[in-house]
Amino acid sequence: MWKGWKAAPLTSSFMFASIIGFAIAAIWIMPQSLSWGFTFLVLFSTMFIASVISMTHAPIKDLTVLERRRR
């Protein structure tokens, strides 16, 4: 692995948005338009994969700094 690569710490709302977006795209958009439904499914799947990578590879120190800034 390249030493300069770091995963961006993403918020939990990013993962929540990807799950809700995937569900809406699969249930509501896909029956209306197959091409738009497929496009949105790919987009929200990519967002979900990015959030899982962020969860597993993001440095803990950066996550605690982000949590402190929210308060």
Gyration radius from the chain CA atoms: 15
CB 30 within 8 A of CB 21: no
Asked if the model's pLDDT at residue 61 lies above 90, the reply is no
How large a percentage of the chain has pLDDT more than 70?
A: 73
Question: What is the domain partition of the chain in residue ranges?
Answer: 12-70
**Residues 14-47: pLDDT tens digits?**
999 999 999 999 999 999 999 999 999 999 999 9
User: Exposure of 12 by Cβ count < 10 A (0-12 exposed, 13-18 middle, 19+ buried)?
Assistant: exposed
Give the pTM.
Answer: 0.73
Number of H helices, E strands in the chain: 4, 0
Q: What is the DSSP letter of 36?
A: H
DSSP string, 45-62: HHHHHHHHHHHHHS-HHH
